[in-house]
Amino acid sequence: MATLTETGPKTTTRMNSAPRQRSKAAGASTGGLQPWLRAQSINVTRHAASLRPFRPDEFGTGAEAPTPGHLQTVNKLITGLRRGLLEMSGKVRKSAAVTSREPTTPRLQELMRRKAHAHHWVRGIEKIWNFYFELFGQRQTRYAKRLLSCDRIGLDCYRACYTGLGVARSIPAPPPFSYMATGFSPSTFRRGIPLRKLGKQLNPFPLIQLPAHRMVNPWTLGAVLHETSHNLQNDLGLQKEVPRKVGLRLLREGASRQVARTWVRWNREMFADMCGMMLGGPCFAGSLMDILAREPETVSHFNPRGPHPTPFFRMLINCELLRRMGFESDATAYRRAWLRIYPKPVSGSIPKAILRSFSDACPLAVDAMCFQPYRSLGNRSLARVLNFGHKEQQMIEEASRRLAAGVDPGIIPERFLIGAVRLALDRRHARPEVLTRNFYKALASG
C-alpha cells in the first residue's frame, strides 16, 4: 500500500508537468511575437517622424544661412510627402494591432506588405531630406561666406533682368541657391524640373552647383552668370521662343536645315553664354576661355547630339557678341588670342556644312538671340533688357582698383565684381590671395 501511495503522487506529478511546460513554451512564443509586432509599428512611425521640416535656425542665423524662402519651400515639399507617409504608418499601426490579436499567417504577411510599402516611402523621402540637409549644412562650414557671395551674384542677375523688362512679370521665388560639389564643371538644376536626386520631385528653386576650385579662383566665377542664365531663360519664358527665333532666322537667310538644326540644338548653352556676357561684361569672355581652352582635339570635337557649341566655335560666338555690344577691341583681342592657340580645327568631325557656313550663320544667330524683340520681354531684346555698355565697364574698372586696395567697392552691382576681380588679376593690381579675400569680403559683408 505504501508503495502504491508513494507511486501515485509521483506518477500524477509527472503527467501534470508536461502540459504546463507546453503552455509555457506557447506563452514564450506568443510573447516573442507580440513585442516584435509592436516594434514594427513603432519603427515606421518614429522613422516618419524623424523626417520633419527644418527649423528656422537649424543651419545658423547669419546671412549665409538658407533664407526663410528656401526653408519654407523645402519644408512645404517635405511636409506634403510626409503627410502621406504618416497615413501609411497609421495603417501599419492598425494592422499590427489587429494582427497581434489574431496572428495568423495571412494577417502577418499582409502586415509585412504594408510595412515594406511604408519603408519604401520612408527611403524615398529620406533621400530628399538628406539632400537638403547636406545642401543647407554647407552653410555652416568655412565655405559659407563664399556660397553666400555666389547667391548674391545670382540674385543680382535676376534683379537686373526683371527690372529691365518692358512688361511686368510674376516675380520668381526663391532665388538661386549655390552649393559645392566635386567635379570639373559647374552645373545647374532649373526650377520646376523633376530631379533624380529628389526622387523625380520638382525642383523648387534654382540650384547652382560649383566645384571648389572655382570659388578658390573667383575670377573664374563667370560660371555663376552662365548657370544663372540657364534659369533665366526658363523663368522668363524664353525656352521655346529663343530656338524658334534662331532657327527661323537662319532658314530665311538661306541656311540649310542641317545648319539651322545645329544652331537650334546649341540654343540653351549659347543663350547662357550670351546672357552671361551681357550681365558681366567683357571679362566674362576671359572666364569662359579658361574652361574652353583644352587640348586641340577636344576643342575641335563636334558632338552631333551635344547641346554645347563646339568649343572652337563657342569662343568665336562670344567674340561676335562682344563686337555687337560695342567692345570691338576686346573682341579682337580675344579672337586673336583664341586663333593663335587654335588656328583651325584639327579634327575632321565637324561637318563641312557647319564649318563653311559658320562665318555667315554666327552673326545671324547672335542677332536673332540677343538683338531682336521678344514678346515675353515686353517686346524688348535681351540686349536692351540687360543694357551693358561702356558706362558699366567703367564701373567694373574702378571697382577692380578698389578691390586690389582693399577698399569698399561701393554700390556696384554684385555681378560686376566678377569682372572687377578678373581685371585686377590680369593687370596685377594685387596678389591673387589678396584679391580673393577682398572679393568675398565685399560680397559677404553686411
Q: pLDDT tens digits, residue range 119-131?
A: 888 888 888 999 9
CA distance 184 to 186: 7
For the segment 106-128, the average pLDDT, to the nearest whole number, is 86
More confident residue, 84 or 442: 442
The confidence score (pLDDT) of residue 8 equals 41
pLDDT digits (tens, 9 = 90+) for 317-368: 999 999 999 999 999 999 999 999 999 888 778 999 999 999 999 999 999 9
Take residue 38 and report the three cell numbers written for it.
509592436
The confidence score (pLDDT) of residue 446 equals 62
CA distance 424 to 421: 5
Kindly state the percentage of the chain with pLDDT values over 90.
71
Q: Is 25 a residue whose pLDDT tops 60?
A: no
CA distance 411 to 346: 46
Residue type, 40: Q
The confidence score (pLDDT) of residue 32 equals 78
Q: Is 13 a residue whose pLDDT tops 70?
A: no
More confident residue, 3 or 116: 116
pLDDT digits (tens, 9 = 90+) for 29-70: 445 788 888 888 788 778 777 888 999 999 999 999 999 999
The confidence score (pLDDT) of residue 168 equals 94
Give 174-236 as a DSSP string: S--EEEE-SSSS-EEE-TT-EEGGGTTEEP-S-EEEE-HHHHHSGGGTHHHHHHHHHHHHHHT
Q: Is 262 a residue whose pLDDT tops 80?
A: yes
CA distance 135 to 138: 6
The confidence score (pLDDT) of residue 111 equals 87
Among the listed ranges 17-31, 69-83, 155-169, 420-434, which one has the minimum average pLDDT value? 17-31
81 pLDDT tier (thresholds 50, 70, 90): confident
Q: Is 85 a residue whose pLDDT tops 90?
A: no
Among the listed ranges 96-105, 289-298, 418-427, which one has the minimum average pLDDT value? 96-105
- What are the residues whose beta carbons fall under 8 Å from the beta carbon of 257, sequence distance 6 or more? 251
17 pLDDT tier (thresholds 50, 70, 90): very low
Q: Is 203 a residue whose pLDDT tops 50?
A: yes
Across the chain, mean pLDDT equals 90
**CA quadruple 372, 377, 383, 384: dihedral positive or negative?**
positive
Among the listed ranges 138-152, 197-211, 387-401, which one has the minimum average pLDDT value? 197-211
Q: 371 by DSSP, 3-state: which?
A: coil
- Does pTM surpass 0.75? yes
26 pLDDT tier (thresholds 50, 70, 90): very low
Q: Is 178 a residue whose pLDDT tops 50?
A: yes
4 pLDDT tier (thresholds 50, 70, 90): very low
Contact present, 140 and 179 (Cβ < 8 Å): no
Q: Mark 70-99 as b/e (b = at least 16 C-beta within 10 Å).
A: bbbbbbebbeebbeebeebbebbbebbeeb
Q: Is 18 a residue whose pLDDT tops 50?
A: no
For the segment 72-101, the average pLDDT, to the nearest whole number, is 86
Q: Is 11 a residue whose pLDDT tops 60?
A: no
Give 293-341 as a DSSP string: ---HHHHT---TT-SSPPHHHHHHHHHHHHHHTT-HHHHHHHHHHHHHH
Q: Which residues sit opposite 178 in a β-bridge?
A: 208
Take residue 235 and report the three cell numbers written for it.
523663368
For the segment 25-32, the average pLDDT, to the nearest whole number, is 49
Q: How far is CA 388 from CA 151, 321, 369, 374, 385, in A?
A: 21, 12, 16, 18, 9
CA distance 90 to 102: 19
Take residue 404 and report the three cell numbers written for it.
586690389
**H, E, C per residue of 219-273:** HHCHHHHHHHHHHHHHHCCCCCHHHHHHHHHHHHCCCCHHHHHHHHHCHHHHHHH
pLDDT digits (tens, 9 = 90+) for 407-434: 999 999 999 999 999 999 999 999 999 9
